[in-house]
């Protein structure tokens, strides 16, 4: 949530509006760009109707998943509606993905997203733009959207990492995605000593850039040999981990007409089910940064406690055996 707050502040800054004015996003089907533009330019009687219309729009604006239910995406599009509506110089939000009902080309998703971005830049003669890609899609290494953009515009593409998390590899291999701090928390410990709560720097020439890359790396990946300066151009620190939070769900998600749309999509997609969203019927599902980043610590501590209890139990058994053998002798 805090990352999208920062992105909203960035793209609505007068300097961005005047000099850039274009945002490409991974989330959202490129075929829905005109529909979102129509939403932006439509006047609604009140905020409740804005929420209902945006929720309805998101049901039609799918990409890989059955639904992208994250609150930050809903809130960002809603805030951009209010920012752009009736504004002469708007910030264009251009979705980059496609609707993946036909998943036969899913292996080429990154190149397809990049092609949608590249073709728009060339067709519209764009000089500057901001592309928001989640996780690995921003990497400038082969197979990622960032790589294809860098190859199309050599020397003109920078990718900037916003402080977030790494993933626990042992748990990832068991099917769980649990966030852990970058560099086991050493970065956060250093950043907490800075006077400013938000700042940015280039990785080149920085000690952080020399650190081993541990953002999202499987044990057998060649990226294990990389450093942060090889993977990202720069870094933005915005909000410490304990200030960050996640939120899933948005208003009117379960209006009957929206459920009907999801049910039709559910019948086509494999690997997804609308029942997986039912936990959101009770409202927003939020997690605070302390829960997110330190869940691994909690698991480690529980494991350590069990090991200590087991060791104490074994020690008791050995003591009893020793006591009995001593008594008998």
In tens, the pLDDT along 222-275 reads 888 899 999 999 999 999 888 999 999 999 999 999 999 999 999 988 878 888
Secondary structure of 212-231 in HEC code, one letter for each residue: ECCCCCCCCCHHHHCEHHHH
pLDDT for the residue numbered 296: 66
Would you say residue 11 has pLDDT above 90? Answer: yes
Asked if the structure places residue 21 within a domain, the reply is yes
Strand 285-288 and strand 245-248: pairing? antiparallel
Confidence of residue 181 (pLDDT cuts 50, 70, 90): confident
Asked if the structure places residue 303 within a domain, the reply is no
Q: What Rg, from alpha-carbon coordinates, does the chain have? A: 24
**Total number of domains constituting the chain:** 1
Helix, strand, coil percent values for the chain (each to nearest 5): 55, 15, 35
Which of 138-147, 171-180, 315-324 has the least mean pLDDT?
171-180
Asked if the structure places residue 41 within a domain, the reply is yes
Asked if the structure places residue 19 within a domain, the reply is yes
Would you say residue 170 has pLDDT above 90? Answer: no
Asked if the structure places residue 102 within a domain, the reply is yes
Would you say residue 25 has pLDDT above 70? Answer: yes
| Pick from 277, 321, 239, 224: nearest CA to 58 | 277
Asked if the structure places residue 256 within a domain, the reply is yes
Buried b (16+ CB within 10 A) or exposed e, 4-24: beebbeebeeeebbeebbbbb
User: Residues 190-203: pLDDT tens digits?
Assistant: 998 988 889 999 99
Burial (CB < 10 A; 0-12, 13-18, 19+), residue 226, is: middle
Residue 138 sits in which domain range?
2-163+239-293
Asked if the structure places residue 64 within a domain, the reply is yes
Strand 130-132 and strand 22-29: pairing? parallel
Asked if the structure places residue 203 within a domain, the reply is no
54, 77 Cβ separation under 8 angstroms = yes
């Amino acid at each position: 949530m805090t990352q999208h707050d920062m992105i909203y502040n960035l793209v609505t800054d007068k300097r961005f509006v005047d000099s850039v004015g274009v945002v490409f996003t991974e989330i959202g089907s490129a075929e829905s760009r005109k529909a979102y533009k129509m939403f932006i330019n439509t006047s609604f009687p009140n905020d409740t109707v804005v929420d209902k219309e945006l929720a309805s729009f998101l049901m039609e604006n799918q990409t890989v998943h059955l639904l992208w239910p994250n609150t930050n995406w809903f809130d960002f599009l809603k805030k951009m509606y209010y920012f752009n509506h009736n504004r002469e110089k708007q910030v264009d939000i251009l979705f980059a993905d496609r609707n993946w009902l036909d998943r036969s080309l899913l292996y080429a998703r990154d190149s397809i997203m990049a092609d949608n971005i590249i073709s728009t830049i060339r067709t519209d003669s764009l000089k500057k733009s901001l592309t928001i890609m989640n996780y690995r899609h921003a990497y400038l290494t082969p197979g990622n959207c960032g790589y294809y953009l860098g190859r199309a515009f050599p020397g003109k593409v920078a990718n900037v990492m916003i402080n977030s998390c790494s993933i626990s590899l042992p748990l990832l291999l068991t099917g769980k995605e649990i966030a852990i701090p970058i560099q086991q928390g050493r970065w956060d410990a250093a950043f907490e000593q800075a006077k400013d709560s938000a700042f940015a720097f280039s990785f080149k020439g920085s000690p952080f850039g020399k650190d081993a890359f541990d953002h999202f790396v499987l044990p057998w990946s060649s990226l294990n040999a990389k450093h942060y300066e090889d993977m990202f151009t720069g870094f933005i620190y915005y909000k410490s981990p304990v200030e960050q939070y996640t939120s899933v769900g948005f208003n009117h998600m379960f209006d009957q007409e929206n459920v009907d749309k999801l049910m039709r999509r559910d019948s086509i997609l494999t690997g997804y089910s609308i029942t997986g969203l039912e936990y959101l019927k009770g409202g927003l599902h939020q997690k605070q940064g302390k829960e997110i980043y330190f869940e691994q610590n909690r698991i480690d501590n529980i494991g350590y406690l069990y090991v200590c209890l087991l060791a104490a139990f074994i020690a008791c058994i050995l003591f009893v055996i020793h006591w009995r053998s001593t008594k008998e002798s």
